Structure 1
Amino acid sequence: MINKFEIKEMTTDYIDGVMVVENLSFKIPWSRQAFVDEITTNDMAIYFVALCNEQVIGYGGMWKIFDEGHITNIAVHPEFRRCGAASGIIERILEISETKGVKSLTLEVRKSNAAAQNLYGKYGFKSEGIRKGYYSDTGEDALIMWKHGI
């Protein structure tokens, strides 16, 4: 288990490492180009990486849309889960949200992903709805979670 990592803004320099985490974490991963586009051309997007010895061990990001934020994804390399990296990413997203005037944050999480739901709950996110059949790989429902009063 590690106890030292740092959270930095994602740049294209980190895309190779992000893709390793992405491919290990999701059955239907985002493409390399999707990440490049997010951080180079999407003015709403804000992404971070968690690094341990300059290796990408996790990443996460959000879109800022007026005074709301939508957390698009958070993932941590399987070998580094439960070391605090996801918490560090969430905390950085909350910090940047506050400085940029975001009043509420939302995200979707698999109904079966109790660990992620508990983590988000620790930061004040509450389930406020369901998106039926949201995940195309399995047809699983997503819980819609919100945190108000950032």
Structure 2
Amino acid sequence: MGNNINVRYLTKDDIKNIVEIEELCFPTPWTKGAFEKELKNKLARYIVIEKDTNIVAYGGIWLIIDEGHITNIAVHPNYRGLGFGNEIVSALINECIKNNIVSMTLEVRKSNIMAQNLYKKHGFKIAGIRPSYYTDTQEDALIMWKDINKGV
């Protein structure tokens, strides 16, 4: 990934850049208001990666009791294939470990093989299907889970 990389928590000042990435990555992007609401959500943690002061990737997770639910992960299209997706997933796993979370879950589009492979690389396994989960296309979501080993 090179130098000048900073992994940190999302701030209010980052939201404009996050929304731009959302709009480039998703058919139904989250809004500015949705991210502002997430910043106030005591269960939510959002992490960004900056390269040379530009936000290139982000990810969010809800920490609910002892489970982490990944809400979204996105890498700016110009920075894909450089390891930023791996960095975000690793940062979210580390956030769960810091908060004594024992398992993580997420939903991913059935057609999004690249994301599925990223999650599998980090130990997530397909555990079920949510039929017609994505309201924009009626596409099914795969439910993936990961157990977190405290000793690792």
The two structures share one fold, judged by TM-score above 0.5 = yes
Q: Give RMSD over aligned pairs.
A: 1.0
Residue 62 of structure 1 aligns with which residue? Answer: 61
Aligned equivalents of 1:43, 1:17: Cα separation in 2: 22
Alpha-carbon shift at residue 16 of structure 1 (Å): 1.2
Aligned equivalents of 1:124, 1:67: Cα separation in 2: 18
Conserved in 1, the CA contact under 8 Å of 2:97 and 2:148? no
Aligned equivalents of 1:16, 1:50: Cα separation in 2: 15
TM-score, structure 2 length as denominator? Answer: 0.94
Residue 147 of structure 2 aligns with which residue? Answer: 148
Conserved in 2, the CA contact under 8 Å of 1:8 and 1:50? yes
Percent identity of equivalent pairs: 46
Alpha-carbon shift at residue 7 of structure 1 (Å): 1.3
Residue 119 of structure 1 aligns with which residue? Answer: 118
> Which stretches in structure 2 are left out of the alignment for 5+ residues?
none
Matches within 5 A, 1:1-150: 3-4=2-3, 5-39=5-39, 41-150=40-149
Structure 2 SS opposite 1:28: coil
Alpha-carbon shift at residue 3 of structure 1 (Å): 3.2
Q: Which amino acid aligns with 1:35?
A: F
Alpha-carbon shift at residue 6 of structure 1 (Å): 2.2
Give every structure 1 segment of 4 or more consecutive aligned residues whose post-TM-superposition deviation is greater than 4 Å. Answer: none
Q: Which amino acid aligns with 2:26?
A: F
Q: Which amino acid aligns with 1:94?
A: I
TM-score, structure 1 length as denominator? Answer: 0.95
Q: Which amino acid aligns with 2:11?
A: T
Conserved in 2, the CA contact under 8 Å of 1:50 and 1:85? yes
Conserved in 2, the CA contact under 8 Å of 1:3 and 1:83? no
